[in-house]
């Protein structure tokens, strides 16, 4: 059986009070629309349609490199039923149609599968409902005396009695294409908002004796619709709770799952410990026994077994080998590669820098475009001057080099194995192996020097 999915994303999103189209607002660092498209793909539909209207250009630009979506323009936002109707010409008569709302981002594939299956079994309309203590603003499910679904009544059109109903419409619905097209054709706009409601097809189906199945989800997060930023934050927290639980089940200790944020993917070995306020972005891979201290940001990086990251460290695009220790207050920028048992301490910044095993830069340094060998010591205040205002240049340091504090290393520069650089030096030319380089003014001690006398008034 062919399945086609329609994702509705044309609404104004007025309640967000935003310049941005609502469906581009993010959950876990990705637009809500991306979450819904990804879940839809899990059902392997023959076609995936997205109806866009408000902010259509911005949305299509964002998904320019997403070839599997066929975009449908809804020029005027005349309601969710009207939106589905715009997509119908592109849908095969034999297909079962699944309608998703881009502003209901956390629905799961299993729920969708059950909905599609229920429509298939009875050849009618299937919809997903949820029971909630806070049904305000949502469509209510009106059941008949036998417990069958009789209609969906929108909040604004509901009587007081209907408003007391706690079973609500999630927005997810499946039906055979021809039936859906026919029912939509009968929907009018005589309601509080003057819109063509998709939800009115339920009343139409019931009147025509077509089976309507209401499936209740038990996960309240799945039905969460995002209309404003309060609901966006609620959806974010629910999403992060899921991420946190998945990480804990996979063997990661989270000091507080409520203060854990994954905006991408995490792979972690056994017995990692992540402290509070850590934000993981992009693709993050942790080996076993990795410890990440409080309030760190780790983005697109690989940390091998036993790496320790102290609090308030930012790691972006780095590879860190076994046993290395980083932070607190360190910043590793893209292209950083730290060898085994290296040590990067507070207020050290690295960029496109490779440090060999056992090398230490324990405090206050900038290492950019720098290749440092093994077992070196980089003193506090060391700066690689990699930029001449036009081009970037490299600093290459051999093994077992000692760089004294406050050294200024003007690139391009080679410092060979075993060299020793005196504190406070400005080094501009090659330092040969085992040599001591001192590049600073000599100290003069002046005897009999008189401090300035205090002026008389």
Residues designated as active site: 363
CA distances from 194 to 51, 83, 172, 176, 419 (A): 20, 14, 22, 27, 81
Residue pointed to by tokens 């581009």: 24
State in angstroms the smallest separation of the CB of 255 from ligand UD1: 34
Give the burial class of 202: count Cβ atoms within 10 A of its Cβ; 0-12 exposed, 13-18 middle, 19 or more buried. buried
Q: Residue 127's closest CA among 60, 86, 66, 174?
A: 174
State in angstroms the smallest separation of the CB of 87 from Ca ion: 18
State in angstroms the smallest separation of the CB of 227 from Ca ion: 5
Residue 13 tokens read as: 């999103």
State in angstroms the smallest separation of the CB of 224 from ligand UD1: 8
CB closer to ligand UD1 out of 91 and 355: 91
Per-residue binder mask for Ca ion (CB under 5 A), 18-57, x = binder: ----------------------------------------
CB closer to Ca ion out of 112 and 348: 112
For 165: left if phi > 0, alpha if psi spans -120 to 50, otherwise beta; the answer is beta
Residue 183 tokens read as: 């029912």
Provide the 8-state DSSP code for 271. Answer: T
**How many residues touch Ca ion (CB under 5 A)?**
3
State in angstroms the smallest separation of the CB of 121 from ligand UD1: 24
For Ca ion, which stretch binds (CB under 5 A), given 148-156, 225-233, 308-316, 380-388? 225-233
Contact set with ligand UD1 (CB under 6 A): 8-11, 51, 53, 74, 77-80, 82-83, 101-104, 138-139, 152, 154, 168-171, 197-199, 225, 227
154 binds Ca ion (CB under 5 A): no
With CB atoms as reference, the residue minimizing the distance to Ca ion is 225
Give the burial class of 390: count Cβ atoms within 10 A of its Cβ; 0-12 exposed, 13-18 middle, 19 or more buried. exposed
Contact 307, 290 (CB under 8 A): yes
For Ca ion, which stretch binds (CB under 5 A), given 176-184, 223-231, 360-368, 449-457? 223-231
The binder of 80, among ligand UD1, Ca ion, none, by C-beta within 5 to 8 A per type, is ligand UD1
Give the burial class of 446: count Cβ atoms within 10 A of its Cβ; 0-12 exposed, 13-18 middle, 19 or more buried. exposed
Chain positions 103 to 122 lying near Ca ion, rule: CB under 5 A, are 103
- The residue ranges that bind Ca ion (CB under 5 A) are 103, 225, 227
């Amino acid at each position: 059986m062919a399945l086609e999915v329609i994702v509705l994303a044309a609404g104004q999103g007025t309640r967000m009070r935003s310049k941005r189209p609502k469906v581009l607002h993010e959950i876990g660092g990705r637009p809500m629309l991306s979450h819904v498209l990804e879940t839809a793909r899990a059902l392997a539909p023959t076609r995936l349609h997205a109806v866009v209207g408000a902010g259509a250009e911005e949305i299509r630009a964002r998904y320019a490199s997403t070839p599997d979506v066929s975009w449908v323009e809804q020029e005027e936002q005349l309601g969710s039923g009207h939106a589905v109707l715009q997509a119908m010409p592109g849908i095969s008569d034999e297909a079962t149609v699944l309608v998703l709302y881009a502003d209901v981002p956390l629905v799961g594939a299993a729920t969708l599968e059950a909905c599609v299956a229920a429509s298939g079994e009875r050849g009618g309309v299937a919809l997903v409902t949820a029971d909630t203590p806070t049904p305000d603003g949502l469509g209510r499910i009106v059941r008949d005396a036998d417990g069958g679904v009789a209609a969906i009544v929108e909040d604004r059109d509901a009587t007081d009695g209907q408003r007391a109903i706690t079973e609500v419409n999630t927005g997810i619905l499946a039906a055979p294409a021809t039936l859906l097209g026919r029912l939509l054709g009968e929907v009018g706009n005589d309601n509080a908002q003057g819109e063509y409601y998709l939800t009115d097809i339920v009343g139409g189906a019931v009147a025509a004796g077509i089976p309507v199945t209401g499936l209740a989800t038990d996960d309240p997060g799945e039905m969460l619709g995002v209309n404003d930023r309060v609901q966006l934050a609620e959806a974010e927290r629910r999403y992060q709770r899921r991420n946190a639980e998945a990480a804990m089940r996979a063997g990661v200790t989270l000091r507080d799952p409520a203060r854990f944020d994954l905006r991408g993917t995490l792979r972690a070995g056994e017995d990692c410990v992540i402290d509070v306020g850590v934000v993981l972005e992009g693709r993050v891979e942790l080996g076993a026994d990795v410890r990440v201290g409080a309030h760190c940001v780790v983005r697109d990086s690989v940390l091998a077994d036993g790496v320790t990251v102290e609090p308030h460290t930012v790691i972006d695009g780095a590879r860190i080998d076994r046993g290395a220790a980083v932070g607190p207050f360190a910043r590793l920028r893209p292209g950083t590669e730290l060898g085994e048992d290296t040590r990067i301490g507070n207020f050290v910044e690295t960029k496109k820098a490779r440090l060999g095993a056992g090398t230490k830069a324990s405090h206050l340094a900038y290492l950019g475009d720098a290749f440092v060998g093994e077992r070196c010591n980089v003193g506090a205040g060391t700066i690689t001057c990699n930029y001449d205002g036009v081009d970037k240049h490299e600093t290459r340091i051999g093994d077992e080099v000692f760089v004294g504090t406050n050294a200024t290393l003007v690139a391009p520069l080679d410092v060979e194995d075993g060299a020793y650089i005196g504190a406070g030096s400005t080094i501009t030319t090659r330092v040969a192996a085992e040599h001591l380089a001192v590049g600073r003014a000599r100290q003069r001690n002046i005897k009999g020097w008189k401090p300035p006398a205090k002026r008389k008034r």
